[in-house]
Amino acid sequence: MLTIFQKATILSKAGFEVPACPAEDVSATSAGAVSQKMHDWAKAIETLYVSYVAARAAKSLRDAEESRQTDMLRRLSLSAWAA
C-alpha cells in the first residue's frame, strides 16, 4: 500500500498540481495526533489520487477496446480480400 507521501509524489510526477504538505507543529499536537491541516491535506491527496487512478484505468480500457476493434477490422479486411 502506498503512503500518502508516495501518492503525492506520483501525482506531482504525473503533472498534477499537488497542494503543499502543511508543516507539523510538534509542540502544538499531542504524541501520535494528526493536525486537522494534515488530515485535510491527506484527504485532498487521496481524492486527487483516486481521480488519477480512475482516469488511467479508463484510458487503459479505451486503448484495449480500440486495439480490439482495429484487430477485428483487420481480420474482416483480410477475409474480404481472400474471397
Q: Which residue has the cell 488511467?
A: 56
pLDDT at residue 4 in the model:
95
Regions of the chain short of the pLDDT cut 70 = 24-34, 83
Q: Is 32 helix (H, G, I), strand (E, B) or coil?
A: coil
In contact, 49 and 7? CB cutoff 8 Å: yes
pLDDT at residue 26 in the model:
53
Q: At what angle do helices 4-13 and 36-82 cross, to 10 degrees?
A: 50
pTM of the model: 0.74
